[in-house]
Amino acid sequence: MPRDSTSTFYEENAETYANRARSLPKRQLDAFLAGITPDGAILELGCGGGQDSAYMLSQGFDVTPTDGSAELARQAEALIGRPVKVMRFQELDADSAFNGVWAHASLLHVPRHELPDVFARIRRALKIGGRLHASFKAGEAEGHDGFGRYYNYPSAEWLSELLTKDGWRKLAIAEHDGGGYDGKPTRWLTISAER
């Protein structure tokens, strides 16, 4: 995540953000985990408060949680009781190391022009047949929310074209209505794909 108003928001509001009332995306987590071998290695990009990592760990998976915010990483460490690597998505440098990458409501902060490189890094980090889960706030043009956080706001068509061109297999993009930290109604895009 760029060192801008988005990063500043998460650094300054980490405790409030990490401890907010949030429903675990259990249906999506279970669907993602069902396609990964028991005790498989999972990389979580943008773990926030650590709730999703905690759930995956409780299900017996080998989870590597990461976040771009040092303050959020500290909050997640307090919840899950293990280290959280402070890392921007653009710093991912792994080769065939993971059975799955979980990026729930995190890659939506990557500047559009950097998404092809980030998806290529994720693809390289996955083992052959490894699974990706990522979710985005839908839209047509990048912009900022009321908290000053940057969003890439892609359309399903834009994401589909990008991922198909990069060789992802079994690509599926689901859409649903929901909300976010700002409390506003949100149209969400959820990607499922395989290396």
Going from N- to C-terminal start, the domains of the chain cover 5-175
CATH number of 5-175: 3.40.50.150
- The closest alpha carbon to 192, from 22, 25, 24, 35, belongs to 35
Six token digits for residue 57: 């760990």
Q: Is 162 left (phi over 0), alpha (psi -120 to 50) or beta?
A: alpha
Chain-centroid distance of CA 100 in Å reads 12
pLDDT tens, position by position, for the chain (195 residues)? 445 889 889 988 888 888 888 889 999 999 999 999 998 999 999 999 999 999 999 999 999 999 999 999 999 999 999 999 999 999 999 999 999 999 999 999 999 999 999 999 999 999 999 999 999 999 999 999 999 999 999 999 999 999 999 899 999 999 999 888 877 889 999 999 999
3-state secondary structure (DSSP) of residue 37: coil
